[in-house]
Chains A and B, each alone.
Chain A
Amino acid sequence: MASQTFFEDVREGQEIPSLRKDVSPVSILMYVASVWLMDRIHFDQPFATQRRGLPGVVAPGNMGGDYYAQLLSEFAGDDGQVRKMSFQFRNFMLADDVLEVGGRIVKKYMSEGKGIVDLELWIKNQGQVNCVPGKGLVALPFRKG
């Protein structure tokens, strides 16, 4: 894991290190199989497009929650805590999309003795469309305990 980020070292407006996620039919299938989510929109192209009017096989929206959890966990480091996430599904994440999962610090402040960072989050596809706009709240440790 990366070295620890401390509350003193971050500033408002700063972007945090992003993730790249290559969604594929295989990664979608691995996900739905691992949690037993047998919704045909995730693996049946004719059903997804013709019956449900979707643009193609779509990734479970839940995967966006997992991508954000990883993004924020890596930012928080071993001594920080991911406290909250929220997000809205605005555009589908499709098989074969290449996604950039990123975030920017919008506010840093103290609350109950903890160093808190509010972030705005995005999952942009290769067309720069933000599929899953979100927000996060992370507690960071202090450099001086």
Chain B
Amino acid sequence: MAGEPQRTEGKDQGGTLKGSLLEELGWTKYVGQDTGTWTGEPVLARDVRRYALAIDDPNPIYRDPGAARKVGGLVAPLFYVTWAVGVPGSERGTKELGEDGLATFVGIPDIPNVWDLGWVRGGEEIEFFERVHVGDRVTVNGKIVDMKEKEGKSGKLLLVTSEFVYTNQAGEKLATHRLTMIGTPRKEAGHG
């Protein structure tokens, strides 16, 4: 789809890690993998305004061009940078979606059996450098940096950590972001 983020770079790299469930799933080879470089469409004023409404952040620099003059024009709330590219591959018709309503999982493209687990966010670290302005085309480069296995209250958990670097169309670094996702076994096996 033309509107979705376009992959502009990226190739697979090898990696090793020990862990029975990870090995069983055959995922260890994804550690160290560059998940590609993606560039989004220009950031829309409407999207930024609605996002600010959703998080109930009243700062007028997100919606009022006059108030935003002091920051060089309308900007997005800081954490919006993590959404500014969009989630590659997420814009599909309902028939193409997995049971969760998702088509893809950030940081782990095309991994077999990924939907045998349910995924939630574990933790994040982000460092901000420059703001996202309305009209910017943001590029993200991602890499899977770690996979760990833990024994949780109701069985095994997988912790998958990715790193993302965001830049704008001028090549300025906007943010670096480290995200750990936690995969847990579903109530029922498999996924239709």
Binding site for B on A (CB under 8 A): 1, 21-22, 27, 30-31, 33-41, 44, 50-53, 60-63, 65-70, 73-74, 78, 81-89
Contact = CB atoms under 8 A, between A and B. Distances in A.
A81 B131 CA distance: 11
Most chain A beta-carbon contacts within 10 A, residue among B50, B51, B56, B78: B56
Contacts of B79: 62, 65-66, 68-69
Nearest to B125: A86
B148 to A, nearest CB: 14
Contacts of A74: 59
Contacts of A67: 55
B13 to A, nearest CB: 26
30 contacts: A22-B56, A27-B55, A30-B50, A30-B53, A33-B54, A34-B54, A36-B87, A37-B90, A38-B102, A39-B100, A44-B101, A52-B118, A52-B187, A53-B154, A62-B82, A63-B55, A65-B124, A66-B80, A68-B79, A69-B78, A70-B59, A74-B59, A82-B128, A83-B127, A84-B125, A84-B127, A85-B124, A85-B126, A89-B122, A89-B123
Contacts of A61: 120-121, 124
Contacts of B80: 66
A78 B54 contact: no
Interface in B100-135: 100-102, 118, 120-128
